[in-house]
Amino acid sequence: MDENKVQSEETPAQPIRYATPVQRTWAWVGVVYMVILVLLTTYALAHGTYLRGIGGIMVSPALCGLGATVILRYKQGVGRGGAIPCVLISGVCFLLSGWNVIRGVPIILSQL
């Protein structure tokens, strides 16, 4: 047992590797999905039925994450195509996300 302890003390410690901005973005998208799923489960347990017509709202966080990823990759110099495709792709993602939320909120409110 002492040999294992000595070997672990001799090995150098691994440096801390922080998450990249893209990884942080997708972590926040995951947090948003967790909150949405908790709210949907709570509603289902309280009312005995699931909400219908929430597909658009469920896609919106992923679209926002995709738009933010395009912008971050362009700022890092990793993205391909230049500024115009970056603006177009991220703009379409944010526009579709907003459209899905605008369409989905009245459907959810009608069921409450």
pLDDT tops 80 at residue 8: no
pLDDT, one tens digit per residue, over 10-37 is: 677 888 889 888 999 999 999 999 999 9
Q: Where are the domains of the chain?
A: 21-111
**Residue among 35, 43, 41, 81 at smallest CA distance from 61:** 35
pLDDT, one tens digit per residue, over 53-83 is: 888 899 999 999 999 999 999 888 877 778 8
| CA 28 from centre of chain | 5
SS3 (DSSP) at 51: coil
pLDDT tops 70 at residue 1: no
What pTM, to 2 d.p., does this model score? 0.77
User: What is the residue-averaged pLDDT of the chain?
Assistant: 87
